[in-house]
Amino acid sequence: MTESNSLSTTLGRGTTAGLVGVVVMTAFQRLVEMPLTGRKESYAPADLVMKLSPIRPKRKRDRRRLNYVAHFSVGAAWGAGHAAIAERAGLRGQRAVAAVFGALYVGDVVANTALGLYKPWQWTRQDWVVDVVDKLLLAEATGLVFDGLSSPV
C-alpha cells in the first residue's frame, strides 16, 4: 500500500472533509434553515456526549461549548466514515454520497433512538425534512471535499 492509499491518510482526508462538511452544514443551518423554520439551536450533540460520558456542564455557556465540540466531532466522524466506506467500496461522487449517507444517517437515527435521545415517531414532517436536508448537505459537502482531496494532483 502506498502512502497516498494508506489507511491513516485516507482517514485523515475523510476527517478533514467531514470538518469542512460540518462547517458548510452549520453555515446553512444558521443562515438559511433556522431563519426559515424558526428552529432554535439543537443541543443533540451535547446530549449525546452527556449520555455516553460523565461530562455534565453546569453553566449554559459550558453546555454550548460542549455542543460545538461534539457537533464538530460528529462531523469529523462522518468524514472518517465516508472515507472508510467510499474507499472500501471503491466509490466516488454521488454513488459514494448515497451509500455513505444511507449507512450513516440510518445509523445516526437508530443509535440516538436506542439511547433515548431521539423520538422520531414524534417528529413532524418539518422535523424530518430539516434533519434529512441538514445531514444530506453534510454528506454532500464531505463527499465533494473528500473526492477533491483524494484526486491525484
Q: Where are the domains of the chain?
A: 3-150
146, three cell numbers: 473528500
Which candidate, 146, 132, 51, 133, places its Cα nearest to that of 93? 146
Please report the pLDDT score of residue 153 as a whole number: 58
Report yes or no on whether pTM surpasses 0.85. yes
Give the residue ranges of the chain where pLDDT is below 50.
1-3
Burial class (CB in 10 A: 0-12, 13-18, 19+), 41: exposed
- pLDDT single digits (tens) 45-84: 999 999 999 999 999 999 999 999 999 999 999 999 999 9
